[in-house]
Structure 1
């Protein structure tokens, strides 16, 4: 409950000066974060959703429903880059957003459109905003913890974990809205707490309320599921705020924000969102009931209690860098159970003796032995089993940190962090039961929780290094094992071989459409003709219908990288579906610009 400000609270709310050492450390952490995200950010070709990002940001509908005059005019046998790049109307951008992304993320596409105007349209360029937003997350985590939890050390540790978090790094390599949405929701939470702080100190929070309202609108227009973060804000408000004036202020802010967002749903690309979501729920539910294993959409199971629990277990574990990759089928459920039972035994010893500076030799020996005692019982023992054994102890250390380091005035903030860490995933599970399938239970849709889980993990690590040396050494070795596993995960991400994060087990090549455009520019001469392959289309609903039975996607994606004023003669070749061909005008010679080899180079 919020009460009148006390001298202690006023002291807590004073700004903390940043020492030279802390300033240098946070600068190094931000440079590390930027470097980890920049590395190989443009190395691999665009995956399917990124291709849609490219065309939406330019007001183009994939497969051309708003490019009839370019591709589908009767009697018109060719098209040029100049025609492809003709100026777009605002209605084109809305249609592109409706058809290609159910009206989601218009704020992100606006940012990317502006970025491309300034810096051009290469794979590296369109992914760079994600690199920047993801780097800023580490900086904002530092400011958030430093201001609200009043601990410089904890703030630096949290920023470091945010800098190396595999989830943030993987999504910084995608030309999608996620990194921007994660940053904006963390900013909104920071503003939310600043408003409550201002009010507690009897100062007007009007400017902060306006900033919060603007951020609220940007969040919802960057990704609809950011609503789950604001749901957490609402739950915290219900639990701890008892001031009618503040309720009224937030209610007016929320209504104004929703009013602005509703304009997008009434007049813009969001007008078909609910209709499309209802169609998708029915579509995936039908797959779950009739063809859950071989539909081409991954594993889509009926939303039974067991299926949802099994599907969500790796989502929960990967939210925390300490448990990333520990809970999944490959580890084995029996192995997990054995590890946790041993972990409870280790916790029994730890909780009794961890405050002693001088441990009996047998306690340390028994604690260490329990970490590896399950090896004879595991099926295919792995290093991560040792980490699973330590999980009960790590959870206990979080409780110890809260008891020892969090003042009573800050306890509500811990509840808030826990809400923010779990509500987005709980919402996904609820929607899974409502829709009848497990398709939507995926990490990126609960990724808004990661900034808060790194803070909770930092509390555990902070407490580890306050332990007696004997326990500290053993748990540090366990942490080194997990650090090795995280390093291995980052290696597979950078190698484009981690389906969990990159969606690919086999590395992609550089963007074939970009390469094709460069080769066309080098080889084209007046009188030549470029032929594009055309795959037969089978539309599943009205949104996908383009009034043309063959795909023009390869032509569209290649033209994105061709000069806007070029008059290259280009045609669709419906007699083949694999090769981009340059036909020389003088000799009729056919030069293969690129061979997609079916789906080999179409990601």
Structure 2
């Protein structure tokens, strides 16, 4: 039977989940799918980009939707996964295929698994913190931060594996800590709690699902291994974990031996050389963004926004960190403010000047900042906030929880450090991007929640000025969410100008209403650059992607006559059979929706 306090906790959790779901559903289907999502859509249907497994369909003079939608085999799925995503994420595509079999094909349906997994992260983070830190309030605060975290919201709108991998890796960490807890307790099992064998099997299953949802999830399991290396002194537990890992790796290796994974390392090697060549010869104008040689300074510059944007209280600070003088001044004032807080944190009646010290120090830089003074004001509380996190750990956690904080720190930094190391090994900076180390965000939410809780324990003369600055940052976060919803936050949406709605879906709807027997549908032949002869080259002399993406939304039994017009670059055209009238269904020229988008 729930106590009043627990009922309140459940009510607040429910409100947070409703908020999280609402933020993730809002405008989820407004903007058309971008290039990676096009790959997602086709892979989930067992269709290769540019028709490598549809030669019998597109090599003819004409083709129909019924021919396009002929039954696909598991080998088709593997081939599509290889060509569309280097053999990565097969478990995600399997989940997505099942979802779309039930709920159909649309942009919203395509993105709904991301919405659901992103919302489940909020729930699981509450469960995680409540279970391992024994604090409902810290659990609710962590969940609240995750609910509004712009990174989670933005990636819930993207039909890729990321939200699923963030959920799975958090679940894996939860199971890992339950195993560690059982081992420390000598294997004893509390009422209605899973036994050790069940936990090991569950952990192994989630390990396999995680790695096959994205290969870089291995960085999370690397953190688990480092934590065990530091704290685990039980030989039997090491053997059990070793067996679990060996079985899991054996199952994963089946994908690399017999599935799409066998091409992963070939493709990664090719990409390493391809992007390194760009970094050395054409770093600024290649069409792939800025790709620099992987020198230590270049890597450091790319790493700064990755680390600063991990923490919601410093999100967006790269705008001011580019000015070293301003940043040093802001951080220096923050150090002084932290010194005052530390010196007088326990003093009931400090000297009179202490009451004004923190606000004066934080505001002192405003006359001297030469760009975006409010963001620099926010930057100045970064050091005090880190101090508050440290104080929470010192004052409010027991020995076991302090060990857990070590794991949180590992999970916060190791995934990004791994990316930086791989960039250095590869010789280019292309892969240094937030989404590849996004597994860290749930754990950072916990650390930030600790800072907020410690803030509430400070004397008002310390807490109020910091809280006011945090409200300014809250405004920045709200504006970022607005920009994400408006499709003009490039780091989160990849666009600074809003996309149009999905032209392939709208074209399919027009064709279904206008097509009559005897008509012909013509698709454009967009010139395609061949990067890899082994992966990109197909049998077709013309580009097929526009035709493929429209056919995805056409009825599976339709007998519409279609062909590629080799001389047309931009328009989808319906030619009426009797009159020969040409109706432009969609013209890509000048639109904000094309292959690289």
**Is 1:548 aligned with 2:532?**
no
- Counterpart of 1:593 (choices 572, 581, 585) is 585
1:348 deviation in Å?
A: 1.7
In 1, the alpha carbon distance for the partners of 2:182 and 2:14 equals 29
The structure 1 residue matched to 2:64, chosen from 67, 80, 93, is: 80
Which one of the candidate residues 549, 552, 561 is aligned to 1:560? 552
1:16, 1:147 within 8 Å by CA — same for their partners in 2?
no
1:465 aligns with 2:456: yes
Does the CA-based 8 Å contact 1:228-1:424 persist in structure 2? Answer: yes
- Give the alignment of 1:478-517 within 5 angstroms: 478-517=469-508
Residues 303 and 438 of structure 1 are in contact (CA less than 8 Å); yes or no, is this contact kept in structure 2? yes
Q: Are 2:182 and 1:193 aligned?
A: no
- Deviation string for 1:340-395 (max 9, x for gaps)? 11111111211112223444442232321111211222112331111111111111
Partner of 2:281: 290
Partner residue in 2 for 1:346? 337
1:132-179 Cα distance to aligned partner (Å, 9 max, x none): 000000000000000001111100000000000000000000010000
1:9 paired residue number: none
Q: 1:576 aligns with which of 565, 568, 583?
A: 568
The 8 Å contact of residues 111 and 157 in structure 2, kept in 1 or not, is answered as: yes
**Map of 2:192 onto structure 1:** none
Structure 1 segments unaligned to the other structure (5+ residues): 1-14
2:356–2:461: 8 Å Cα contact kept in structure 1?
A: no
Instruction: Give the conservation status (yes or no) of the 8 Å contact 1:397–1:464.
Output: yes
CA displacement 1:3-50 (0-9 Å, x = unmatched)? xxxxxxxxxxxx999711001000000000000000011100001100
Change (3 A) 1:561 1:35: same
Distance 1:357 1:533 in 2: 76
Alpha-carbon distance in structure 2 between the residues aligned to 1:48 and 1:306:
31
Task: Report the counterpart of residue 176 of structure 1 in structure 2.
Answer: 160
Contact 1:577 1:598 in 2 (8 A): no
Match of 1:322, SS state, is coil
- 2:126 counterpart of 1:132: no
1:599, CA displacement in angstroms? Answer: 6.0
Structure 1 Cα separation of the partners of residues 64 and 373 of structure 2: 57
In the other structure, the counterpart of 2:191 is none
What do residues 463-516 of structure 1 show as CA deviations (whole Å, max 9, x unaligned)?
A: 001111221211110110110111111010000000010000000011011110
User: Which one is further off, 469-478 or 327-336?
Assistant: 327-336
Q: Distance in 1 between matches of 2:3 and 2:274?
A: 53
Aligned to 2:316: 325
Equivalent of residue 380 in structure 1, options 365, 371, 374: 371
Q: What's the CA shift for 1:399?
A: 1.3
Question: Equivalences for 1:439-478 in 2 at 5 Å?
Answer: 439-478=430-469
2:29 is the alignment partner of 1:42: yes
Q: What's the CA shift for 1:452?
A: 0.1
CA distance in 1 between counterparts of 2:153 and 2:542 reads 37
Correspondence 1:19-418 to 2 at 5 A: 19-72=6-59, 76-203=60-187, 204-328=195-319, 332-418=323-409
1:379 aligned counterpart, secondary structure: coil
Paired position in structure 1 for 2:517: 526
Q: CA deviation at 1:396?
A: 1.1
Q: Give the Cα–Cα distance (whole angstroms) in 2 for the partners of residues 537 and 98 of structure 1.
A: 19
**Partners in 1 of 2:349 and 2:575 — Cα distance?**
82
SS of residue in 1 equivalent to 2:562: strand
Deviation at 1:330, TM superposition (A): 6.9
> Which aligned runs of 4 or more in structure 1 are off by greater than 6 angstroms?
15-18
Q: Is 2:89–2:215's contact at 8 Å kept on the other side of the alignment?
A: yes
**Counterparts of 2:350 and 2:510, CA distance in 1:** 70
Where in structure 2 are there 5+ consecutive unaligned residues? 188-194
Q: Which residue of 2 aligns with 1:3?
A: none
Say which SS state the counterpart of residue 63 (structure 1) adopts.
helix
Q: CA contact under 8 A between 1:137 and 1:183: conserved in structure 2? A: yes
Q: How many residues align?
A: 586
Q: Structure 1 residues 343-352 or 147-156, which shifts more?
A: 343-352
Is 472-481 or 221-230 further displaced after alignment? 472-481
Deviation at 1:543, TM superposition (A): 0.2
Higher mean C-alpha displacement, 227-236 vs 342-351: 342-351
SS in 2 for 1:593: strand
Conservation of the 8 A alpha-carbon contact between 1:313 and 1:328: no
- Could you state the TM-score of these two structures normalised by the residue count of structure 2? 0.96
Deviations 1:514-538 (A, max 9, x none): 1100110111111111110011223
Aligned equivalents of 1:480, 1:447: Cα separation in 2: 25
Cα displacement (A) at 1:600: 3.3
Confirm or deny: 8 A CA contact 2:499 2:592 kept in the other structure: no
Q: 1:116 to 1:567 in 2, by over 3 A?
A: same
Distance 1:143 1:16 in 2: 18
Which residue does 1:4 correspond to in 2?
none
Query: Using a 3 Å threshold, how does the CA distance of structure 1 residues 49 and 16 change in structure 2: closer, same or farther?
Result: farther
